[in-house]
Structure 1
Amino acid sequence: MSAPEFPRPSTVDALPTPALLLENTRLERNIAAMARRYDTAGVALRPHVKTSKCWEVARRQLTAGAIGFTCSTPAEVDWLRERGVADLLWAHHPIGPRKVEFAVAAAARGGLTVTLDSPEGAAPLAAAAAAAGVVVPFVLEVNTGHARGGVEPELARERAAAMAAHSSLRLRGVLTHEGQLAGYVGDRPGLERAGREAGTLLSQVAGELRDAGHGIELVSVGSTPGATSAPFAGGVTEARPGTYVYFDANQVRLGSATLDDCALTVLATVISIQRPQRVIIDAGIKAMSSDTIAAAGSLGLVCDQEGRPLPEVTFADGNEEHGFLTGAGAAALRVGDLVRLVPNHACGTTNMWSGLYVVDGPAVTDRWAISARY
């Protein structure tokens, strides 16, 4: 059975729910503001495409001055290459036979840099590249506090030497993700300090590698919370924020944005009210991301149909196709009411959808595809 046809653009209140909405004016404003910030500072902007997975958004980022994109998956790399984007950084480790095969083939076509953080991870890639007669450019991932991945700074020189010893690998630079900044809810000054420290530490590692004879051209930091701090440490050459195109409830809580900056929402309908202060909507965890990060006890911020926050209403929980709104303010909702939900994490939410509706106030002006999903 074929997928149902989506309605022609009309008005928000005529859409089937749940629906993913994008405020185009806010999108354009967010893209322009970040581009200006880095152009003024002389720092290259390489946005993370995982936030949108949408060519219409990516095209606007390129037009605004992005030098290329950061990717998480082979699907994202292929999708962007098919559209002629020539400068891609795969910010994930190509471990395992299929990913190694993909990395070598993509590097042979040119324009791709991969990410590594250990000699063990580098060895299979180096062997496959040598067998194919290909040199694969890579950046060394460095842990600057998040500890998700990346070599410890004091070991960077040793690990870089071991990896760069393979003639089929070429060290281009260093990379970090300052994800630890998500822990600074309510402490923006502390977040700014920690972001600058992460950028400074990465620059120091880059300097040590240059002193050891490596040609370090990229010093790459990446996060939206750190977009106002880490890239401005001396020596950083590029920034990789992603969420900034849409922002989200986590970024509001962290002080990276206001609610008026949030361009992405999920439109939902109240479908049942059988118990006091427990309202059921038709958007659950398959419409949202269950990734809370900076949130506590919430799947997102609840707003009315026009995007104004509903006081004392919490998106407390969700099943696959049901969401549960609680709190004293929920008593004012009625079956059939529309609400708009600002997701905690825009990137995770995007990956749940195959397309989004572009809106301008109450008008639906277009529908854009979301690509390269799992």
Structure 2
Amino acid sequence: MPHWFEITNSDEVLSPALLFYPERIKQNIGRMLSIAGSADRLRPHVKTYKCKEVVRLQMDAGINKFKCATLKEAEMVAQCGIKDVLVAYPLVGPNKKRFLQLMDRYSDTKFSVLVDHADQIAGWKSMTHTHSAIHVFIDLDAGMHRTGATPEKADLLVGLLSNPSFEFRGWHCYDGHIHQTNYSERQAAVEQQYKPLLELVNKYGLEGKEFICGSSISFPIHATYPKRTLSPGTTLLWDHGYSTKFPDLQFDVAAILMARVVTKPERDLLCIDLGYKAVASEMKEAPVFFPQIPDAEIQTHSEEHLVIKTKDAEKWKIGNVVYGIPWHICPSVAMYDQAGVVRYGKVSDYWSIVARTRYHQVNEN
């Protein structure tokens, strides 16, 4: 019996290829809504799929605000007609000019930025913008120590934003380091990390403000607090890493990599065209899981080649199609210009991964 991910027209698809399964994506959106309680509570991150069509599937479900990491992603979301977009990454240097250009070009969209340092606020204040104030969220550090201000520093930033140049929209907090497999331990970690942050947030209140919290892993915990906005992202496509570590979240893998056996170096070895330019390999875990070859052991991984060892190597012929689930889907998607869209067991069309690229010049079209 075929696996759910197998396609009947693989002879028409070059390898390696990225495949999206929209019906499974819709199921994941439904799961997000079920956890959140309503679409209004969701501000999903687009970094995983970088694709307009997946944004539109969420729009069809009533989701009307999004979060992104790059300016290219911000423009992609605005082009979909979304009216509220947060660039959840510190913008410095000429990147700020490009952001202002997006504000002008897509004037119907409310773009917001993050700040976590007084110098960032000073930099924005020094820039002239004739149309409106800069919409700002203060980024809080929940323990990652990557970006985000401590409560003490954030308290000072509120005062600096009391200026006509800015509209202070609320707080943002990402807790991507909270990865306890056990739900109770994960919940305890969230409560511990957020306790000092909540003292600050409660000091100013949330009337007219937004408190954006969590990651794909922690957002079900934050969903139990009605005043928090939730921002999952990987939940749309899911991957083998999260499926393995967090089965309690019950999202479905909705993206697969299709590859082929290109040669058989030895009796128990297969060489597959899925190098680390086709699947992300930055984690310590194996970069990809092959459901058809569950005993596969990675031997070598180079730019265009992946060599695996399996006791079933003799069953595989050169040219056979192999399907793999990435351990980490987000950077894997960014390696492809397009995703084949699988409907009724066939690749029926292709969606462009339009936001996988970046701007290189301030005035680039």
Q: Please indicate, yes or no, whether the TM-score normalized by the shorter chain is above 0.5.
A: yes
Seen in structure 2, the aligned counterparts of structure 1 residues 18 and 258 have a Cα distance that, compared at 3 Å, is: farther
TM-score, L = length of structure 2: 0.86
- CA positional deviation for 1:316: 5.3
Aligned-pair distance for 1:107? Answer: 3.9
Identity %: 24
Aligned residues: 348
CA-to-partner distance for each residue in 1:253-301, whole Å, 9 max, x for gaps?
2215689811111001011211354321011111112232xxx331121
Distance 1:133 1:365, change over 3 A: closer
**2:188 paired with 1:193:** yes
Report if the CA contact (8 A) 1:24-1:360 is conserved: yes
Task: Report what 1:53 is aligned to.
Answer: 50
TM-score (ref. length: structure 1): 0.84
Name the counterpart of 1:326.
309
Contact 1:225 1:256 in 2 (8 A): no
Inter-CA distance 302–223: structure 2 relative to 1 (3 Å threshold): same
The offset of 1:344, in angstroms, is: 1.5
Q: 1:209 to 1:249 in 2, by over 3 A?
A: same
SS for the counterpart of 1:191 is: helix
Letter in 1 for 2:28: N
| Counterpart residue number, 2:200 | 205
Aligned match of 2:115: 116
Residue 288 to residue 166, structure 1, CA distance change in 2 (3 Å): same
**1:19-44 CA-partner distances (Å, limit 9, x unpaired):** 1111222111111111232135x861
Q: Residues 260 and 217 from structure 1, CA distance in 2 versus in 1: closer, same or farther, beyond 3 angstroms?
A: closer
Within the alignment, does 1:99 sit opposite 2:99 as a pair? no
Aligned counterparts of 1:257 and 1:322: Cα–Cα separation in 2: 34
More helix by share: 1
Structure 2 Cα separation of the partners of residues 331 and 191 of structure 1: 44
Q: Deviations over 1:146-194 (max 9, x none)?
A: 22210012332123223x1443122111101111123x2x434322332
* RMSD over aligned Cα atoms: 2.6
Contact residue 28 and residue 251 of structure 2 kept, 8 A:
no
Q: What is the CA–CA distance in structure 2 between the aligned matches of 1:149 and 1:123, rounded to whole Å?
A: 17
Superposition pairs for residues 57-96 of structure 1, below 5 Å? Answer: 57-96=54-93
Q: What residue number does 1:347 align with?
A: 330
> What stretches of structure 1 move > 4 A for 4+ residues in a row?
196-202, 256-260, 327-332
1:226 aligns with 2:218: yes
1:147 matched residue in structure 2: 145
Range with bigger deviation, 312-321 or 255-264: 255-264
CA contact (8 A) 1:107 1:113 kept: no
Q: Which moved more, 1:279-288 or 1:104-113?
A: 104-113
User: Which amino acid in structure 1 is aligned with residue 171 of structure 2?
Assistant: V
Q: Which has the higher contact order (CA 8 A, sep 6+)?
A: 2
Matches of 1:219 and 1:143 in 2, distance apart?
Answer: 13
